[in-house]
Amino acid sequence: MRLFDNTETAFKLKSDSELERAYFLFKMIQNQPMVRIGTAVTNFALKAHLPVEGLIRSTVFDHFCGGVTEDDCLPNIEKMYDRGNVHSILDYSVEGKEDEAQFEDALQMTLKTIDFAEEKKSIPYAVFKPTGFGRFALYQKLTEGEEHTEEEKVEWERVVERFHIVCKAAAEKDVPLLIDAEESWMQDAADDLIEELMEIYNKEKAIVFNTLQMYRHDRLEYLRGLYQRAHQKGYHIGMKVVRGAYMEKERERAKEKGYPSPICVDKQATDDNYNEAVRFMMEHKNMAIFAGTHNEESSYLLMDLAKEYNVESTDKRMWFGQLYGMSDHISFNLAQEGYNVAKYVPFGPVRDVMPYLIRRAEENTSVAGQTSRELNLLKTERKRRKL
């Protein structure tokens, strides 16, 4: 039996009723029309202030989110750590807010999660999104080579200051900080800023981590260039490597605006690109990798590379990461083998986290085989438990 086929280890934390709920949810997600209808109905119900939060909370929210507040998440976090040796990363998943008060809230929340990570062994990283700290349009203008207005320059300075505040706090408390990637038409501005921060805060080791979305065919070249620059200037690279989260959106926009799509031609090209990035990072020193993947072959590859380059499974420069509520067969089996594993645990008010949850459901329907694999594993475990 291959490592990731062990469903007893994968689902050991799930009660029978939680296992049944997971099976029911992935059955629903497998049905694309159902996801579309469910999304529309949920959005309507929330906008109309219908009393649906309880239903959402007891089904999709509780499966994919740790709780409404960071304290809410702690029982789940401690259970995964104590019983499965799986760590957690608190991810404040409120999306699409565009005012200064919300950006300040996100800043305070990120500082709070850095404190949590400093205190608790079960939380190894903190995380935030660039657009959590500033308006999308500001990043987009810089990425597209446009000048900011005088007003926007002042606004951008506040964004940069927020980045510095959290990176400085992370460095002082020795908590590595993951910065998520977003859409390609705003990403260059975020990349440039994060690179400046790496140069300041990553002198001794990787504290500031950027994110590479490997469904973009230009990311390998970017990683190689970054390595050269870091090598010359003498700082460490921290990188979360993922396949990516905005594929449909990216392709549609490229088609609509008439520019070549930044997305790889197909799934195989994306997989090859991802694996090549992992290989490049393991070959070169002064790099720390957080491999965010739900792909079994990429996980096996990283395990093989670690052996090849004599990197201990417990080396803090190498982590595996999966989303809470998904790919438990990878997370818990890897942790059992002694590897560093962390679950991304989203949290926030039910209403505010819905855009995140809808994106999760849509992603699952569009990733061929992901949902089927989850269902097959759940089916195997139900049979093993004779449910």
Look up the domain containing 31 and give its range: 1-65+353-386
pLDDT in tens, 181-204: 999 999 999 999 999 999 999 999
Tell me the pLDDT band of 230, cut-offs 50, 70 and 90.
very high
Q: Are residues 50 and 74 in the same domain?
A: no
Q: Give residue 21's identity as a one-letter amino acid code.
A: R
Q: Are residues 203 and 226 in the same domain?
A: yes
Tell me the pLDDT band of 248, cut-offs 50, 70 and 90.
confident
Starting at the edge strand that comes first in sequence, how are the strands of the sheet with 87-92 ordered?
A: 87-92, 341-347, 318-323, 287-292, 237-242, 208-213, 177-179, 126-128
Q: Are residues 308 and 381 in the same domain?
A: no
Q: Are residues 148 and 231 in the same domain?
A: yes
Q: Are residues 337 and 202 in the same domain?
A: yes
Let me know how many helices (H) and strands (E) the chain has, helices first. Answer: 17, 8
pLDDT at 117 over 80: yes
Q: Are residues 185 and 130 in the same domain?
A: yes
CATH of residue 196 = 3.20.20.220
Global confidence as pTM: 0.94
Query: Which residue matches tokens 């990878």?
Result: 330
Q: Are residues 153 and 235 in the same domain?
A: yes
pLDDT at 205 over 80: yes
Collapse the DSSP code of 126 into the 3-class scheme (helix H, G, I; strand E, B; otherwise coil) and give the result. Answer: strand
pLDDT at 135 over 70: yes
CA angle (144 as vertex; 138, 146 as ends), nearest 5:
70
Please give the tally of structural domains in the chain: 2
Q: Are residues 46 and 148 in the same domain?
A: no
| Contact (CB, 8 A) for 68 and 90 | no
- Report the half-sphere exposure of 274 (CA within 13 A, side-chain side): 28
Q: C-alpha distances in angstroms, 84 versus 11, 81, 153, 338?
A: 10, 5, 47, 11
Between 84 and 364, the more confident residue is 84
Q: Are residues 227 and 119 in the same domain?
A: yes
Q: Are residues 53 and 73 in the same domain?
A: no
pLDDT in tens, 2-53: 999 999 999 999 999 999 999 988 888 887 776 777 777 777 777 777 777 8
What integer pLDDT is reported at residue 55 of this predicted model?
A: 79
Q: Are residues 245 and 297 in the same domain?
A: yes
pLDDT in tens, 141-169: 999 999 999 999 999 999 999 999 999 99
Q: Are residues 157 and 197 in the same domain?
A: yes
Q: Give residue 370's identity as a one-letter amino acid code.
A: Q
